[in-house]
Amino acid sequence: MIVVKNPQKLKQDLTSNGNTITSIAEELGYSKAYLSSIVTGVRNPNEKVAIGICELLKKQFEEYFFIQSVHKKITKK
């Protein structure tokens, strides 16, 4: 799972050039609600969104995101 390291910094960097979350969401091809939930830390981005954000900001993935290992518990029936 991809997790945002610092949602506040991500939002600040995305909107620093006078852009809005709405305009960025449109540019990336996602809804404003989805992007807003990512930059507020409510949801985790999928890989396409994370890469799109990094390309848009011309930054490395590690600056904004990290990959958290998710282990599923297998139960016997």
Cα(14)–Cα(56) distance, integer angstroms: 9
* SS3 state at 3: strand
Residue at 52 is within a domain: yes
Tell me which DSSP letter residue 68 carries: P
Residue at 42 is within a domain: yes
pLDDT in tens, 13-53: 999 989 999 999 999 999 999 999 999 999 999 999 999 99
Contact indicator for 64, 6 with CB cutoff of 8 Å: yes
- Our measurement of the distance from residue 44's CA atom to the centroid of its chain's CA atoms, rounded to an integer in Å, reads 6
Domain count along the chain: 1
Q: Residue 48 has what pLDDT? A: 94
Residue 77 tokens read as 């029936």
Residue at 44 is within a domain: yes
Residue at 14 is within a domain: yes
Residue 56 tokens read as 């848009």
Residue at 76 is within a domain: no
CATH of the domain at 53: 1.10.260.40
